[in-house]
Amino acid sequence: MKNKILFVLSFVILSTFILTPKVFAENSSKSSAVLSDNGSVSLSDNRAKILKKFLESYNSPLAPLAPEFVENADNNNLDWRLLAAISGVESTFGQQIPSGSYNGWGWGVYGNNVTYFSSWKNGIEIVSRGLREKYMGKLETTNVYEIGSMYAASPAWASHVEYYMNKISDFTLLNPQDSLSISL
C-alpha cells in the first residue's frame, strides 16, 4: 500500500513538471515569456474547451468565444492564452469595459479615448492581428515585458498578463475533467 501511494505521488509530481508549459519570464533581455505556444501538444486538441471552462469560472461574457481566441491566436502566431490573459488584466475578462465598446483589452483606451468594436468577435480579431503587427512585429520580440512597455502604462502589466497565462495553464491540472484522458 505504501508503495502504491509513493508511486501515485511520484506520478502526480512528474506529470506536473511534464505537462506544465514552460514559460520563463524575467524582466531582462536574456529570458522572456514566450508568446508562441510550441510545446503543449497535450493541450492543443482541447485549448478552446479549456479556455471556455476557465473563462466560465470567472463568469466572463467572453467564454462562448473561446474557439475564436484559439483560432485568432493560431492565425497570428500568438500564444493561445495571451489575449484572454490580457482581458483578465484589462477588464476582469470582459466584465468591466467602457459601455458598449466590446473592448476587454484596453485597446486604444486612454484618457477619454475609447476604441469601440462591433462585437466581441471583432475585438478578438483586431486585437490579435494588432498584437502581431504593431507590437510583436514592430518590436521583433515575443517578450511580454517588452510588449508591455508599449502596450500599457503600468510597469506591472506584463507580470499580470503572465500571471493569467499561467493560471490558464494551471487550470488544466486543477480540473482534470477538462483535459485529455489517459489510461494506465
What is the distance between the alpha carbons of residues 59 and 91, in angstroms, rounded to a whole number?
12
Give the model's pLDDT for residue 118.
97
pLDDT band at 95 (very low <50, low <70, confident <90, very high): very high
Residue of 169 and 141 predicted with greater confidence: 169
C-alpha cell at 151: 502596450
The mean pLDDT of 62-70, rounded to a whole number, is 96
Domain segments of the chain as ranges: 44-178
Among the listed ranges 37-46, 82-91, 112-121, 156-165, which one has the minimum average pLDDT value? Answer: 37-46
Does residue 136 register a pLDDT over 60?
yes
CATH number listed for the domain at residues 44-178 = 1.10.530.10
CB 63 within 8 A of CB 52: yes
Residues of the chain above pLDDT 70, percent? 71
